[in-house]
Amino acid sequence: MTPMADSPKNVLEELGFRYDPADLYQGVINTVLAAAQTINTPRHLQLLMAEPKNEVIVHFPARMDSGEYRLFKGYRVQHNNILGPYKGGIRYHASVSLDHVKALAVLMTLKCSLVRLPLGGAKGGLQVDPFSLSTEELRRVTRRFTAALGSNIGPDHDIPAPDVGTNAQVMAWIADTYMNFAGPDKRSSGRAVVTGKPLEFGGCLGRDKATGQGLVYALEELLPELGIDLEGMTFSLIGYGNVGSWTGRLLTELGAKLIAVMDHAGAIYSEHGLHALELAQHVQQERGVCGYPEAETISTEEFYKLNVDVLIPAALEQMVDEEKAGWINAKVVAEGANAPTTPGGQRILQDKGVAILPAVLCNAGGVTVSYFEWRQNRQAVTWPAHRVDEELRTQIQTAAKRTRVAAHRYDCDLRTAAYCAALDNLSCVYSLRGIFP
């Protein structure tokens, strides 16, 4: 198929972007637009994908335990809702910025479309180090953030979920705050305003492991074609929080060997394999992998140069840059985190023959089980754990097959293929619904 004459840069120039290839959002959009042009997506849809529908920025005060007040900045970016209500996590992190949130929001749009969820893409963030706050300060900040967002979120409009720096408790505070502001006609459905809640407050069985479980299902579907068996394969992880630790536990239960982990504290290695559950307990107590007694400490460069079957980045964005990509000695990079590989890093990996399994597929388990939770809340039912796992496996492995088919059809890498499959679905829905008015 002949690509369209327009380049991603031309689309961004039409929208008034000051082109900066180092910008995370523009890097993501460039890749998305390149995929759109691979399948001759109509220009108006390319323009719609390049900018979010809404960008909400709020500033609000919150009282600290000292009695002083601090001013906080928060974001909610709503990228696209042609498929259904906006959906996406809220992260609490000191480095949160508008462009980071925008990039994650567009990836959520593609992720929901690839898995065929009736949801759109959004993302939120708060500029704060949650570990610097007491529990009471965190609760007050969360309630004020929710109040500041106001009607920008809601069970029928925009449904947040946990992300980096947030958890089930934070979601419970958001839902409770929303329910206290909602009118009587909306109060009963108010807990569906967020997903990832505690089980006792409308949460879904399996939500805590969902992203890691989805990644495992994607590996089960795609690795055989790459000549790798889960049983006996070696793997390493970047990040050992929720996604990384659950991925480590689930893969080792299937017979894979976890030989190295790196996080913000450092990197550890064991040629005999790390005990995934014990390491998770250590990280929870020590807030880092360093000091784990059953492993040796290694440098960052040594970590990346380890000979493993699969390297799984499961931390923050843009972890694998050009330098680190040059070090990598893995057959496969499976993106457990959102956008963990820079465009330059991706080019180097592809030149080396490293297969990249894209984040929009590999970490789609979280939003998929969030969708299950939202459905259960709306219907006032509870699914057993086996149903959650069975439906998650079906959704993720079908999306993986869809990605593989697109890769063969368009003769492209798996990331481009995943974007093509997602954009093709969005384009179909836009053609059916049309552009109002």
Report, as residue numbers or ranges, the catalytic residues: 123
257 Cβ contact partners less than 8 Å away, ≥ 6 residues apart: 232, 233, 234, 235, 273
Whether 361 and 400 have beta carbons less than 8 Å apart is answered as yes
Whether 121 and 106 have beta carbons less than 8 Å apart is answered as yes
Residue in 288, 345, 350 with CA at minimum distance from that of residue 27: 345
Q: What is the chain's percent helix, strand, coil content, to nearest 5?
A: 50, 20, 30
Whether 259 and 306 have beta carbons less than 8 Å apart is answered as yes
Amino acid 135 reads T
Whether 269 and 260 have beta carbons less than 8 Å apart is answered as yes
Q: Is 383 in a helix, a strand, or coil?
A: coil
Residue in 335, 323, 325 with CA at minimum distance from that of residue 239: 335
DSSP tag of 311? E
Parallel, antiparallel or unpaired: strands 355-357 and 329-334: parallel
CA–chain centroid gap for 412, Å, is: 23
C-alpha 359/C-alpha 139 separation (Å) is 31
Whether 248 and 237 have beta carbons less than 8 Å apart is answered as yes
